[in-house]
Structures are given as C-alpha cells and as structure tokens.
C-alpha cells in the first residue's frame, strides 16, 4: 500500500487542521487504495515519526511526504530533511520520498491567484 503524509506546521487551535483533514478526505475519495494522513512539526499530533510508524505498521510499502507549506522556509528546508533522515533510518526497507512545498506548485499558485482576484 502506498501512503501519503501531509506534513504541516501545526497549531494549538484544533480548527486550524480542518482544511488539512479536508484534503485527506478528498484524497481518500479520489484514490481509496492510498493511505493518507496528516502529520505536524509541532503543536499538534501526530508528529511525522508517529504517523509514519503507524502507516508502516498498517502495511505501507512506501511513504510520500507532502510539505503543506506555501514556500521553502526553514521548516521545509531544514527541519523536514532531518526528520526524513530519521524516518529512513527507522524504516530502512520502506522508501520515503518528499514532494516540493505545495505552494511552489504552479497549480497552487494559479488557484491562489484566482481566489485572490475574486470580487
């Protein structure tokens, strides 16, 4: 089973994660054979290691981490690579890939511009 982890910063406010969970729900509808979960750097659970361990225990044969950041700031550029190195060490038989920050994708830029221009 392929697994996707949406990785975000996190917040103490539980409502903050609602849009992330909505993306996971859309993923599950669009591709039910792919496991999809959220993970957070801080202030919310689960963290990346916990989410990955749970997915591997459930049979994930690969992990794809999608940074849910608008750009490649410190968390995506420095913190995430360190966490991924630890994931690879903890699960050496499971390939771990990392996408670009979602905000750097042309489709996201286009959609954000469209939304911003609504009147």
Predicted confidence (pLDDT) per residue in 100-115, tens digit: 999 999 999 999 999 9
CA 36 to chain centre: 9
The distance of Cα 105 from the centroid of its chain, to the nearest Å, equals 14
What is the average per-residue pLDDT within 55-60? 98
CB 97 within 8 Å of CB 64: yes
Task: Label residue 77 by pLDDT band (50, 70, 90).
Answer: confident
Cα–Cα distance for residue pair 3/66, rounded to 1 Å: 11
Which pLDDT does position 6 carry in this prediction? Answer: 98
Contacting residues for 70 by C-beta, under 8 A, at least 6 apart: 101, 102, 103
Given a contact cutoff of 8 angstroms between Cβ atoms, the answer to whether 7 and 68 are in contact is yes
Q: How confident is the model at residue 90 (pLDDT cuts 50, 70, 90)?
A: very high
The whole-angstrom separation of Cα 8 and Cα 99 is 13
| pLDDT score for 78 | 84
- What are the residue boundaries of the structural domains of the chain, listed by start? 2-116
Per-residue pLDDT at 24 exceeds 90: yes
pTM for the model? 0.93
* Structural domain 2-116, CATH architecture: 3-Layer(aba) Sandwich (3.40)
Name the pLDDT band for 71 (thresholds 50, 70, 90): confident
Alpha helices in the chain (DSSP H): 18-30, 48-57, 74, 80-90, 106-116
The pLDDT of residue 89 is above 90? yes
Q: Distance (Å, rounded) from C-alpha 19 to C-alpha 115?
A: 16
């Amino acid at each position: 089973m392929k697994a996707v982890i949406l990785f975000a910063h996190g917040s103490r406010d539980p409502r903050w994660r609602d849009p992330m969970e909505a993306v996971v729900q859309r993923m599950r509808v669009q591709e039910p054979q792919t496991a999809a979960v959220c993970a957070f750097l801080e202030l919310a659970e689960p963290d990346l290691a916990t989410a990955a361990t749970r997915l591997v225990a459930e049979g994930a044969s690969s992990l794809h981490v999608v940074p849910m950041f608008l750009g490649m700031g410190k968390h995506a550029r420095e913190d995430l690579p360190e966490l991924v190195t630890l994931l690879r060490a903890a699960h050496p038989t499971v390939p771990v890939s990392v996408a670009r920050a979602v905000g750097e994708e042309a489709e996201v830029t286009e959609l954000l511009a469209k939304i911003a221009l609504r009147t």
